[in-house]
A and B are shown apart, each in its own frame.
Chain A
Amino acid sequence: MSHILLQIIIVPPIASLFILLTRHLIGRKAGWIAGFSLLYSTALLIMACVRVYHGEIIVEEYPFIDSAITFGLLGDGLSLPVALIINGLCTALAFYAIHYIDHRIEAIYGDVDERTYLNHYTRFYSMFLGFPMGFMGVCLVKNLIAMYFFLEVLPIPLYFIMATFGYVDRVRVAMICLMWAVIGAAFFLAGFLMAYSQIGSFNIADMNALAGNPMTFWIIFVLLIAILIKMAAVPFHVWMPWVHAEHPTCIAGLLAVYANIAAYVLVRVIVFPLPADFKAFSIPLMVLALITMVYGSFLTMGQTDVKRFAACSTISQLAYSLLGISALTIASIEGGMFFFLGHIMGKTILFSTAGILVYTTGTRDMREMGGLAQKMPITTALWIMGAMMLSGFPPMSSFPAEWVMFTGIFKTGVQTMPIGLMVAIFGAGAIILTVAYTFRSVKIIFFGPLNPDLANDKIKDPPLTMSIPLLMIAAVSIILGVCPKLALNLFNYVIAGIPIP
């Protein structure tokens, strides 16, 4: 099939435009149209992954402004598995949102006439499809400016969906989110322009020409600030709890991707072309990652709001990928990327299940829940699977990911004793905080006697359109956990080529 990568990027915006233009004709079918358009692009991604698995690299070039400036796309072992999982999550959440967004419109705008309702409903989906476009763009482009463009496309649907369908403090938090995105963008732009000033090219493949350049340290430094802001590393994490907590939960899973995509950018733009220059940042970043892991875990443990709980855990979890990548070994980078995929799947399940809980019980306070396992067994199973994915229990994909990642981290640790080894040991030990807070939340929300206020028939598992997509994500995680080769072999095509100093 030709133009496969281009199709993957442009199918969502075409579907978005279609929904926008025909909103009164298609009405409530908008969710299904969005879902099926994403299913199509997921199928394309699977086809592309199969080709790459057999050793092919997919490259597409399209003229942009003139023949000198082209819009290039690259499908390799690093970009495609990441794109596939992210697109899969977008697809699942498109179906999940069919019921959920119905509930949000009713909660925010009350009993409105059909036309107004459809306006809201279709607006959500036409904006929602901006996410897959942005994510696919970031994953597949070959050019720094195109990457910047897609990175900055992402805050737009985020901003509008947040302000239109979010929770109580939605407009203020939408503004906070946008401002942080702009600050991060400014650093990205500065870094990219600094690189351009040295090598005269925006091509990511040309970045290795910066190796050994005295300016490279500062270029990496500036880009790292942008990446750390996006990844919500301490002390740039402060936007994360707000933004994740106030968003409609149907996109909160994508917010984890929004933050995590920076890990991909880190590998693609910095680590892959400039490993020797990045080495200077290795230990400081590992220490920062450890601090973020521990701080994020304590922050999560202190939460009582079920949405904030999931949000704060993202801060901690993102730092694992950062730790792996900054350890700068083949195993730790591959494991870090694999962990990133495991985390976004786990977090999507956890956030979306939090949405189900809020949707069903009408409260966000975990302490007001309790005993829900009796009434909502499928939701309980989903939450426990999310907890297992975050905590790295087999058979979830995060188990082999964690193992591979920490093998690399310990390699660096032993080589950089004593600091490196201490970071590695405490990093592995810090996972217990994840186990503690995730399974403690299971106890608080689902176990124990049922809260008498919730002893009514309204408290039950959600409709299948909400639970099946999440169960599918869990199934993908289990498949990758049982057959980690599927992801690791693909990553290895690219990451094994990094000349680790």
Chain B
Amino acid sequence: MADKTLTRMDLAEAVHKEVGLSRNDSADLVESVLRHISDALVRGETVKISSFGTFSVREKAARVGRNPKTGEEVPIHPRRVLTFRSSHLMKDRVAAGNKG
């Protein structure tokens, strides 16, 4: 495993190299993509990106949790959580690339 961490900067660099836009414009576009996906999710929409994966928002009901340290009961309020389901293409590529 290579074990490197990529950031927004690396994604912008890829856009800069691939499309030839300036690094600044490339960074803005990376930000736009993340913002549009986030905004749709906040509106409660499912975001389905073919050959990448699906982001969906799930409603979790209220339940009683417990502080694991003190054993004290604490109410957990109903909340919305985000789940990501990768596409078959992504699963296959990640499995193949990390084999052996």
Q: Do A and B come from one complex?
A: no
Q: Which residues of B contact A (CB under 8 A)?
A: none
